[in-house]
Structure 1
Amino acid sequence: MTVEKSSAWAPLRRGVFRALWLAQLGSNVGSWMQSVGAQWTVVHQPNAAALASIVQAASLLPVLFVSLPAGVLADVLDRRRLIALATLAMAIVAGGLAALSAGGLLTPTALIAITFVLGACQALTSPAWQAIQPELVPRSELPEAAALNSLNVNLARAIGPALAGFLLGLSSPAVVFAVNAVSYLAILVALLRWRRPAAVAAAGEPMLPALRAGLRYVAYAPGVRRILLRAMVFVLPASALWGLLPVAAVNRLGLGSTGYGVLLAALGLGAVGGAVLLKPIRARLGRNTLLGCATVAYAIGVLAVALLHNATIVAVLLVVAGAGWLGGLSTLNTTLQLALPAWVRARALAVYLMVFLGGQGVGALIWGLLAAALGASATLLMSGIVLLIGAASLAVLPLHPRTGELDRAVAQPWPEPEIGILADGEEDLDPRAGPVLVEVSYHVPPENAEQFRAALAKVGVSRQRTGARRWSTYRDVSTPDLYVELFEVASWSEHLRQHNERITGADAELYQAAADLALEPPRARHLLAN
């Protein structure tokens, strides 16, 4: 069958993307098997609701501590090698978990600790996985690639839990854990076969300045901040279902391990259907409408588990919830991918993963503790209501309309800084020298003054987003039409990165809009602290 480039499956035509996608599918199946085995290990323990949620939280909370450093590493190191080393570590740790379980030495404390370590390794790779997508497919196929990656996770969710439930019925959690350990090998093979072009490898950048630059970008990117807010509003209540479903399956629906696996598979199958339908739906609905509908669909599944006793009806409605989960996740992820420039992609995605996965972990812990006090049904009912409130909040806090549509290609709208002969006779500045104060002067006619000030305020946000740690504007009292923009950058090397690597086409449009309101091209001076 011929797949058109514009179809939902177009990225799979590309060999490297296809190989990595299939390898991830195998590993994700193993990870979902591991998750079911871990939760099933504690589901018959005292305080099962709290323990099951803690196990879920242990796999997700490491993202809060690891994701930001991982994002920096993914931007400044070879992403392929980073993923490979972390994957090898996960294979070793998962093998140790299987050995402990087979030997009867696995306590709930040890299970939670090992799950935390595996979660930390996963968090170390996640920003790199996200950031390599634009290297595997063209920008025009990023929405389809994001949907396929979400489909990957959810297809694994359909297969892994059902397979884990079958194996648990025949054998023991040790076998499930062993399958997960072996599943990591597929990723290692695919990574070793990928010859990542040297041209896309990130240039070296010191860790702490790179971390500060990433956080500064997120702080001064309104569209990105709104995506993070919507992710938190969605995932905090949504996490209740993932943490409490095993308890509800046993205590409310009277199911065993196989039945629990079927419920998780229903969520996964819904996500698969959602991935197939997402492209035509996205073409008809805006991002905000799609996100709202996805949230409501997921809430339907949560409320079904909370209120209904018929396992068949619950499974059918969980298919709807799975489609909603895929729709919400894909909408947020795709919008963010398209909104980010290459230089900061992994770091900003790391912040997103902190919010999304960390929110799942924190939410699972909170809902688990509430379930221990109020019961699983009442807790799930609360989370479903919060989800519906979150969907309604899109009317007042939507995703910004141009997010994901701005030009993020690198541009160099500024002339190269002029450097004279220094006192020591050198013509090149020490990259570590700083701080650097940049002064930009504009002569603006009175009739353009108000419009210019508004344009310059947008320029200021861009300066801070790309590296300025302080920014301000002044007006010359002796020459009323003279406006002076001042911003400070930590070092000369940081300013060169700002100058040559971080300015996008959208930033250049902001600078040009301000410059067009002046009588002549702006003049810049670079002042270096003694």
Structure 2
Amino acid sequence: MVTELGGGAAAVSAIQAAGTLPVFLLAIPAGVLSDILDRRRFLVAVQFFMALVSTILAFLAVTGSLSVAAMIALTFAGGVGAALVGPTWQSIVPELVPREELKDAVALNSLGINIARAIGPAAGGAILAGLGAAATYGGDILSDVLVIGALLWWRRASTADKALPENFLGAFRAGLRYTRASKELHVVLLRAAVFFVFASSVWALLPLVARGELKGGAGFYGILMGAVGAGAIAGAMLLPRLRARCSANALLLGASLLSAAVMVTLALVPVKAVAFVALLVLGGAWIMSLTTFNGVAQGILPNWVRGRALAVYLTVFNGAMAAGSMGWGAVAEGIGVPSALLVSAAGLVVAAFVMNRVKLPTVEADLTSSHQWAEPLTADPVANDRGPVLILVDYRVARDRQAAFVSAMDRLSTERRRDGAYAWGLSQDSTDPERLVEWFMVESWAEHLRQHQRFSHAGADLQNEAVAFHSGAAPPLVTHLIGIDARSLSQIGSSPIL
């Protein structure tokens, strides 16, 4: 539609960026909302908003008022809706299936989303060519209505813990703390960002390739997207066998090389039949990469922060796609579409081999709650918002074992930070060198109680490894120190201390 309205490479790239930039800007707040709100009601409300955006686009198309500027603005609005629902759609998967089926359900959900992402544009191109823009947007409105109906039919069980509800800012900070402390997630985010910056060129420039290099219209573009969809389905069917034989790193390397080969083919062989076959290959490579990234991310995340951490992943994904789309559009304006595709293909090949040295996480630890920590004892009731809270854990460790103990505690520190601690340390008593004290701080009493709930079986294994170095007759002594101020002193009936 943009090319038919007279837009060039920059306008086409701007449409791509308008759809993905809101996810980059809003995915993390959306992830927070998905973790603290009723997910079914939240999804219904946003689907209504997205249906309204499509209704406005349909009205503009019927009245002949559709313009490039209006399409960019309303695509951005639709992108806002996509940003809000993205983390929530992925987060509800554990609510829909038993725990033993979660891994397969996550894979199926990822395949469904990305196959739909490929088939949707193909259907849109076919409807656009046959019935026009108004009917195309009308089909989108119908899809929103069907989704709303499915959500209203779903009776969501109440699974969230109501005793310690999180507010938006607290949940936002907890999500960022987890992301900052998770080294495994850092690897996934780095690999995804590098891949999508280079791979985005084929999506940003494909409409121009279809119209300019291949001399096709909207209908032919729809055929090409249909080839992507067919390739995605074929790739999805082959993926279980490939997973059984290849590691996640090998799958990503293969997907990168196949995607680069498609870019080179589109740039050097402007033949419609060849482009159709190339797009079949691209669909398979794309679903392979997306499902691998998503599967690894889901496998390393606990349920309590799943929406927020997936939102960070979606932010990186869409930020890389938006930046790549704008960047490759500008490159294409300067050196031409074929040359831009060749440059991006070369960059993708180099990046694939360099990033293959940064291995993706392979171990899926048990991140369910261990309930290992006993409820903390208090002399008086403690208000949930009191804080900060300093937790001390006293160990006795022989000097010849302290180096190994410190190494074990360093691994445990990551777990403490991911579960809510904003500071952590290990100190030695100057008068008793065998007394080592672990200390960490959380922002409030409620957050520390949530830390009790979040402590996983994987974290328990790390803690047990550290406790094994303890030589005292009794278990390590745990002390809780709560910050005081004038208000908290009045709550516990104490006089101010000067």
| TM-score of the aligned structures, taking structure 2 as reference length | 0.93
Once the 2 structures are TM-superposed, how far is the Cα of residue 167 of structure 1 from its aligned partner?
A: 2.7
Whole-Å Cα distance in 2 between the matches of residues 325 and 514 of structure 1? Answer: 43
Q: Which residue of 1 aligns with 2:490?
A: none
Q: Which residue of 2 aligns with 1:35?
A: none
Q: Which residue of 2 aligns with 1:275?
A: 236
Q: Which residue of 2 aligns with 1:222?
A: 183
Q: Which residue of 2 aligns with 1:56?
A: 16
Once the 2 structures are TM-superposed, how far is the Cα of residue 183 of structure 1 from its aligned partner?
A: 1.1
- SS across alignment from 1:199: coil
CA deviation digits over 1:115-158, x for unaligned, max 9?
A: 00000011100111010111122344344333333432444355
CA deviation digits over 1:223-277, x for unaligned, max 9?
A: 1111111111111111111111010111111112111111111111111001001
**Residues 79-228 of structure 1 mapped to structure 2, 5 A cutoff:** 79-157=39-117, 159-200=119-160, 204-228=165-189
**Residues 413-424 of structure 1 mapped to structure 2, 5 A cutoff:** 413-420=372-379
- SS across alignment from 2:454: coil
CA 1:459–1:189 in structure 2 vs 1: closer, same or farther (change >3 Å)? same
Whole-Å Cα distance in 1 between the matches of residues 118 and 302 of structure 2? Answer: 34
Q: Which residue of 2 aligns with 1:334?
A: 295
Q: Which residue of 2 aligns with 1:260?
A: 221
> Which of residues 512, 516, 529 is equivalent to 2:468?
516
8 A contact 2:114–2:290 mirrored in 1: no
Whole-Å Cα distance in 2 between the matches of residues 319 and 147 of structure 1? Answer: 21
> Which of residues 165, 175, 199 is equivalent to 1:238?
199
Mean Cα deviation higher: 199-208 or 305-314: 199-208
- SS across alignment from 1:335: helix
Once the 2 structures are TM-superposed, how far is the Cα of residue 514 of structure 1 from its aligned partner?
A: 0.5
Q: Which residue of 1 aligns with 2:446?
A: 493
**Residues 369-408 of structure 1 mapped to structure 2, 5 A cutoff:** 369-402=330-363, 405-408=364-367
8 A contact 1:236–1:362 mirrored in 2: yes
Q: Which residue of 2 aligns with 1:251?
A: 212
Whole-Å Cα distance in 2 between the matches of residues 417 and 117 of structure 1? Answer: 47
Q: What residue identity is the alignment partner of 1:433?
A: R
Q: Does 1:507 align with 2:466?
A: no
Mean Cα deviation higher: 63-72 or 197-206: 197-206
CA 1:160–1:209 in structure 2 vs 1: closer, same or farther (change >3 Å)? closer
The percent of aligned pairs where both chains have the same amino acid is 41
Q: What residue identity is the alignment partner of 1:519?
A: S
CA 1:140–1:317 in structure 2 vs 1: closer, same or farther (change >3 Å)? farther
- SS across alignment from 2:46: helix
8 A contact 1:161–1:262 mirrored in 2: no
Whole-Å Cα distance in 2 between the matches of residues 272 and 337 of structure 1? Answer: 21
- SS across alignment from 1:385: helix
Q: Which residue of 1 aligns with 2:487?
A: none
**Residues 313-324 of structure 1 mapped to structure 2, 5 A cutoff:** 313-324=274-285
- Count residues in correspondence: 481
- SS across alignment from 1:410: coil
Mean Cα deviation higher: 200-209 or 349-358: 200-209
| TM-score of the aligned structures, taking structure 1 as reference length | 0.88
8 A contact 1:161–1:261 mirrored in 2: yes
8 A contact 1:226–1:399 mirrored in 2: yes
8 A contact 1:441–1:483 mirrored in 2: yes
CA 1:347–1:416 in structure 2 vs 1: closer, same or farther (change >3 Å)? same
8 A contact 1:237–1:387 mirrored in 2: yes
Whole-Å Cα distance in 1 between the matches of residues 232 and 81 of structure 2? Answer: 25
Whole-Å Cα distance in 2 between the matches of residues 284 and 359 of structure 1? Answer: 30
Q: What residue identity is the alignment partner of 2:12?
A: A
Once the 2 structures are TM-superposed, how far is the Cα of residue 413 of structure 1 from its aligned partner?
A: 2.0
Q: Which residue of 2 aligns with 1:36?
A: none
Once the 2 structures are TM-superposed, how far is the Cα of residue 166 of structure 1 from its aligned partner?
A: 2.9
Q: What residue identity is the alignment partner of 1:208?
A: L
State the 4+ residue runs in structure 1 displaced beyond 4 angstroms: 200-203
Whole-Å Cα distance in 1 between the matches of residues 424 and 130 of structure 2? Answer: 65
- SS across alignment from 1:440: strand
Whole-Å Cα distance in 2 between the matches of residues 380 and 453 of structure 1? Answer: 51
CA 1:151–1:416 in structure 2 vs 1: closer, same or farther (change >3 Å)? closer
Give the unaligned 5+ runs of structure 2.
485-498
Whole-Å Cα distance in 2 between the matches of residues 412 and 154 of structure 1? Answer: 37
Once the 2 structures are TM-superposed, how far is the Cα of residue 504 of structure 1 from its aligned partner?
A: 0.8
8 A contact 1:432–1:493 mirrored in 2: yes
Mean Cα deviation higher: 195-204 or 344-353: 195-204
8 A contact 1:273–1:323 mirrored in 2: yes
Q: Which residue of 1 aligns with 2:397?
A: 444
Whole-Å Cα distance in 1 between the matches of residues 167 and 306 of structure 2? Answer: 16
Whole-Å Cα distance in 1 between the matches of residues 26 and 45 of structure 2? Answer: 15
Whole-Å Cα distance in 1 between the matches of residues 204 and 425 of structure 2? Answer: 48
CA 1:223–1:243 in structure 2 vs 1: closer, same or farther (change >3 Å)? same
CA 1:324–1:278 in structure 2 vs 1: closer, same or farther (change >3 Å)? same
8 A contact 1:77–1:201 mirrored in 2: no
